[in-house]
Amino acid sequence: MSKDAYIHKVLPGEPGGPLVFAFHGTGGDENQLLGFARELVPGATVVSPRGDVSELGAARFFRRTGEGVYDMDDLIRATVKMAGFVKAHVKEAKPSAVYALGYSNGANILASVLFAAPEQFDATALMHPLIPFAPEINGSLSGRRVLITAGRRDPICPPELTSRLNAYLRDAGADVRLEWHEGGHEVRPNEIDAAKRFFATKEQGQ
């Protein structure tokens, strides 16, 4: 798969340093999380793709037929395509570590790639993911670190599904941290602080 499979932006960092992939939410684009990813991992190279599906003009990474109802065939297509995109960039960059973060729909495609190819990422931050199905994890997530952030009153991502995802990942061997706030689907300061601590801890362990 080509590293140009998606329209994307690259924010160059230190050669041989960490590589961070940033996946936007519905209606966002390759600019939405670019600066935030660099803030989380200073000095990293950041790659931020734009979703290739349009939902009434809003960019997404895969199709859905309703709120929380995914087109599973298209999710499979998108997962294979994104895994190839990530692999191509990693092959070219030869980074010291590979990290990723995604918000909402971006967290969903990131989680799906993580299920399909657990070896792709050293650490991932899933911000308000919604996984309304039982994932099939292709291997073990042992040694992989995952941060999940969520709102206890999120109308899009019910807390019980967040807790279920947490359990799935733990059962597959992942080292999972779960950060809640009392609001809805918005990103709040404690989530940002948790993400900064999460990636800083990983950096110190290199």
185 carries an active-site annotation:
yes
Q: Does 89 participate in catalysis according to the annotation?
A: no
Q: Classify residue 86 by burial, with Cβ atoms within 10 Å: 0-12, 13-18, 19+.
A: buried
d(CA 78, CA 21): 16
Give the C-alpha separation, 101 to 23, whole Å. 6
**Cα 201 to chain centroid, rounded:** 18
Residue 112 bears catalytic tag: no
Residue tagged active-site, from 89, 104, 112, 181: 104
Q: For the chain, list the strands marked E by DSSP.
A: 8-11, 19-23, 45-49, 53-55, 58-60, 64-66, 69-70, 98-103, 123-127, 145-151, 175-181
Catalytic residue among 48, 122, 154, 181: 154
Q: How many CB atoms lie within 10 A of CB 65?
A: 10
> What backbone torsions phi and psi does residue 138 show, to the nearest 5 degrees?
-85, 75
Which residues carry out catalysis? Answer: 104, 154, 185
